[in-house]
Amino acid sequence: MSEQFSAHASNKVLADVISIDTLTAGVRRVRLKPQEAVHYLPGQYLQIFLSDSDKRPFSIASAPGDEYIELQIGGNVTDAYAGQALTHLQDNPTVLIQVGLGEAYLRPDSNRPVILLAGGTGFSYACSIAKAMAQQPDGRAVKLYWGLRNEAALYYQQELAELQELRPGLQLVTVLQEPGQDWTGRTGLVHEALLADIPSLAGYDIYIAGPFPMVKAVRDVFLTAGAERGHMYADAFAWI
Ligand SMILES: Cc1cc2nc3c(=O)[nH]c(=O)nc-3n(C[C@H](O)[C@H](O)[C@H](O)COP(=O)(O)OP(=O)(O)OC[C@H]3O[C@@H](n4cnc5c(N)ncnc54)[C@H](O)[C@@H]3O)c2cc1C
């Protein structure tokens, strides 16, 4: 790693790359160990510095207090955004990161029911929030809707079953866009499946992550369905 990448700002630290595992053909799980203590909230993201001028945001999949920071990087289409970050992580045993970014973190003081809407690797974001809520159960109902292209894009099934044991109120709905003929679950676009189940979104805290076109489509449609702007959280809103 170049010496010009100095870690000095708050929550900007060097982190050791502990492991990179295969979750699907296109998605990798990355575990990082920061060399200093860092702070983040469930649902926040970090940036990986590929150079001084090139930093890429990735949702943190782990919950605060977990031993490692976990990332889930990749997607349906192998693109340069994820691919270059993975190459950087593979080539460097230590990387510079900035942790604890974003405003779409889990609101700890709310008692409203929670909807987590994830498209593809947007699941990483939902995962952090679901893990945090499983570690500190409160009375809130939690529905996690996860949309994926097809069966081959699915991952984390064992971990999700474990989370549901910790938090029995966690309701998981998986929605495949282009399923094979053996799929008996929900089909279509994930936000449309959600709206079919819950036509009125008034009263919910709604946390959203996924491809930008999904988040863009969802923003307007959900407001029409009664969601309140102040209770819809997505860091992608800042990009679209
Ligand atoms: C703050 C931030 C954090 C990020 N974190 C990560 C990260 O942790 N990991 C990562 O790899 N990338 C991350 N990205 C980049 C980007 O969000 C991902 O590239 C994207 O989520 C990957 O989606 P996918 O290819 O897995 O989903 P896809 O396979 O393309 O789509 C999954 C599902 O989303 C829905 N969907 C897709 N398109 C539409 C549409 N046009 N309308 C309605 N619904 C649609 C469908 O239900 C579909 O099945 C991040 C970006 C930002 C800004």
Q: Which two tokens stand for residue 209?
A: 């992550």
Q: Where are the domains of the chain?
A: 12-101, 114-238
Low-confidence ranges of the chain (pLDDT < 50): 1-9
Q: Give CA angle at 202 (62, 120), nearest 5°.
A: 35
Pocket test for ligand 1, best of 86, 208, 214, 216 (most atoms within 8 A of CB): 214
In terms of Cα–Cα distance, which of 80, 99, 92 is closest to 38? 99
CA dist 193 and 219 (Å) reads 15
- Just give the CATH number of 12-101: 2.40.30.10
CA dist 62 and 89 (Å) reads 18
Domain 114-238 fold is Rossmann fold (3.40.50)
CA 159 / ligand 1 centre spacing (Å): 20
What are the C-alpha distances in Å from 91 to residues 50, 58, 158, 171, 220? 11, 18, 30, 39, 41
Q: What pLDDT was estimated at residue 81? A: 85
Q: Whose CA is nearest to atom 19 of ligand 1?
A: 211
Helix (H) or strand (E) holding 87: helix 80-91
Q: What pLDDT was estimated at residue 38? A: 94
Q: What is the pLDDT of residues 181-234, one digit of tens each?
A: 999 999 999 999 999 999 999 999 999 999 999 999 999 999 999 999 999 999
Q: Which two tokens stand for residue 203?
A: 């009263």
Q: How far is CA 95 from the centre of its chain?
A: 21
Q: Whose CA is nearest to atom 34 of ligand 1?
A: 119
Contact 132, 62 (CB under 8 A): no
Q: What pLDDT was estimated at residue 76? A: 63
Q: What pLDDT was estimated at residue 5? A: 41
